Structures are given as C-alpha cells and as structure tokens.
Structure 1
Amino acid sequence: MIKNIALGAFLLISGVLLSQNTPMSGAEAKAFVAKVSSETKTIKTLQADFTQTKKMDFLDKSIITYGRMSLKTPDMLSWKYTKPYQYSIVFKDNKIFINDQGKKSSVDAKSKTFEKINKLIVGSSNGQMFNDPEFSVSYLKNGNFNIAKFTPKSAQLMKYIKQIELYFPKNQSTVSQVNMTEASGDTTNIVFKNTKANAPVAASEFSL
C-alpha cells in the first residue's frame, strides 16, 4: 500500500504536461535556487488539500484520491486521505505511522523509497531539497512553472524511482505539484490547492 502512495493529479494537469518545458540557463537555475532557498527559510508549517492520481499500466482507469497534507519543520509530515476511503500516513521520529481505516501500524522509515520522496517534500519547504546527495537535479521552465527534476544517483533507488519533478508556480516559492515516474513506468502525481504557510497546525494532524 505504501508503495502505491506517492504523489499526483495526472488528470488535472494535462494542460501543463502539454506545454513545452525548456532547460533553464545556468544563471536562471542559480537565481531560482537562491530565491526558493531564501523565501522558504521562514516557513515552519504548511497545510494544503491535495488530489492524488496513480496511473498503472495494468489498470484501465487511474486511481484518484483526495485528502490533506500537513507539514511541520523540521521533519513531521502527514498525509490524510479522506476520499474515497479513510487512510492516514504520518512521518515522524524516523518512522512511518499508518492508520488504514482503523487498523494502526508503524514501520521503520529509514531507507524506504517513500521516505525519500517525503524528504524532498519536507526539503521543499526550506530549500534544502536541492542539496540532497541521493539525487542529481536539473532545472526546467515553461510559461507557468519553474521545475526541478530529481534523478536518483544510486542503482538501488533507481530500481523504484525513475524521476521526481517538483513544480513551482512562477509567482511563489512553494511546491504546487509533484510528479513521480517509477522505474516500471507507473506514474503518481499530486496537485496541491488551498495552501497555507505558517498557520497553526493541530498536534492531532501528526497522530493517529
């Protein structure tokens, strides 16, 4: 189940995918990284609603889910799925805590593929994701977004992840969309909306 929960909203972003992405120049990439890193230093919390879509080759229809993401620096992150089922996954204390419609469990998050993805999400709130030693980063742009594309360096991680793209609207420094392509070719994507930075986040968001 964890492997299938990564990130997306493929149906809602078809217009973005059709727009042409072009590489940033070295100067543009440097300015983009500096801007995001500077402007996100003051972020302590983030909350957003999300639409996630998982597209798998052996299924005719995409799996679409809805929920709320909550983040509290330095390393607390929760995904609470509300439709079409109730499911919560919380990252804290280097563990993953899961509540699958009342059935609770926990696993060690160290070296887990999904933990790597969430590390990028946490890093996107403070600009630190650009320095992750496990990924090489390239920078793209189109008319609406600046895009950071992360490619795994290790053969172990490449068994699961082909690439992860973080989309930043031109007028903001927080991520509005994440696209992941797995090694199998399956895609998981998310689009955030109603994002709030530095608003109070209840402790219950990080408990099950």
Structure 2
Amino acid sequence: MIKNIVFGAFILMANCFFAQNTAMSSAEAKTFVTRISSETKEIKTLQSDFIQTKKMDFLDKNIVTQGKMSLKSPNVLSWKYLKPYQYSIIFKDNKIFINDQGKKTSVDAKSKTFEKINKLIVGSSNGKMFNDPEFSVIYMKNANYNIAKFTPKSAQLLKYIKQIELHFPKNQSTVSQVNMTEASGDTTNIVFKNTKINAPIPASEFSL
C-alpha cells in the first residue's frame, strides 16, 4: 500500500487527452531542457494543491483524492492528502515519514526505488531530472504542453513503473501535470493547481 501511495504521489494528470503529440526535434529538445534547467535553478520552495486520480483494473470507479504538495530545496518533499481521508508522506533526511490518520511510522528511503522516484520528483523543480541515468527520456509537444516521457532503465524500477510523463505548460517552467503508468497497467494521475514558487513554507508542513 505504501508503494502505491508513494508512486501515486509522483504523478500528474494530462488534461489534453485528445491533443496531437509530436516528437520534438533535437534542437527543440535541447532548447527546452536548457530553458527549464536554467529557469528552475532559482526555485527554493514550491507549493501546490493537487488532485490525484488512480485507475485500477479491479475497481469500477476511480479513486480520487485531494491534497497539498510542498517542496523545499534541496531534497525535502511533503505530500499531504486531505480529502476524502488524511494521509501524509514526508521525504526528509533519507527517510520516509508517514502519518496514516494518526498512525505514524518511518521507512528507510535509501532503497534504490524510493531514492530514484523521490529524486525525479524533486528534480522536476530544478531541471536535474533530465540528467538522471536511471531513466531514458524522449521529448514531445502539443499545442499546450511540452512533455518529457521517462522510462526506467533498471529492472528493479521496471517492476513498478512502466513510464512517467511530466507535462510543462508552454508558458511556465514547472510541472503542472504528470501521468504515470505502472507495470501492472494501472495509472495514477495528478493535476497541480495554485502553484506558488519561493513563498515561505511553515516548518509544520514538513513534520507529522
């Protein structure tokens, strides 16, 4: 269950299912990566509300949750689910801290799977995810988004994740949507809203 929720925390839903995606040229991809990497270097904190939708084959209805994501450079990340239940996940000091409606636990975050997924999400706010050797990346575009599609190279990560898509609106340098397909075929989608960059974040957001 922890893995499903953690994996779900790293995914954002594309809202243009019918948009025509085309591959970027080498020059376009280079320009895109250079711009995102440069513009996100100044990000110290990032906060956003999110809506997560998970589709599972054995369920007739999608699981929809809402919450808040907070990130503090260089590698502190908090996901707090607020509706319809309360559940918090905090990545800090190489550990994952979990609060499941009052039941608090911690897990070592040094495992390769957790480490790489956390690194990818944090990297999406500073452009460093494009250089992660654990993933191969292809770049696509449509009328509204530039899209980076990440495929794991390691057999360990492929046991859980088939592909992760990060969607960047044409007019901004931070991710607004992510779509992930798990190895099982289930999908988890998250849409970020009301994003704030470099606004003060209370210390309580990174504690249980």
TM-score (norm 1): 0.95
Q: Matched residues in 2 for 1:90 and 1:112: separation?
A: 17
Contiguous gaps of at least 5 residues in structure 2: none
The answer to whether the 8 A contact 1:4-1:54 is kept is no
Q: Percent identity?
A: 80
Equivalent position of 2:108 in the other structure: 108
Paired letter, 2:136: S
Q: Matched residues in 2 for 1:172 and 1:56: separation?
A: 31
Q: Matched residues in 1 for 2:53 and 2:90: separation?
A: 19
Q: Matched residues in 2 for 1:126 and 1:92: separation?
A: 17
1:180/1:114 CA distance change after superposition, 3 Å:
farther
Equivalent position of 1:90 in the other structure: 90
Offset, 1:125: 1.1
User: Which digits, 9 at most, give the CA deviation of each residue in 1:97-119, with x for residues without a partner?
Assistant: 00000000000112253443332
Equivalent position of 1:186 in the other structure: 186
The answer to whether the 8 A contact 2:113-2:156 is kept is no
Offset, 1:189: 1.0
Paired letter, 2:121: I
SS in 2 for 1:3: helix
Equivalent residue pairs, number: 205
Counterparts of residues 132-171 of structure 1 (less than 5 Å): 132-171=132-171
- Residue 172 (str. 1) matches residue 172 (str. 2): yes
Contiguous gaps of at least 5 residues in structure 1: none
TM-score (norm 2): 0.95
Q: Matched residues in 1 for 2:123 and 2:93: separation?
A: 16
Deviates further, 50-59 or 1-10? 1-10
Once superposed, which parts of structure 1, at least 4 consecutive aligned residues long, lie more than 4 Å away?
Answer: none
Counterparts of residues 10-159 of structure 1 (less than 5 Å): 10=13, 13=14, 15-111=15-111, 113-159=113-159
User: Which digits, 9 at most, give the CA deviation of each residue in 1:81-135, with x for residues without a partner?
Assistant: 0000011000011110000000000001122534433321110111100010100
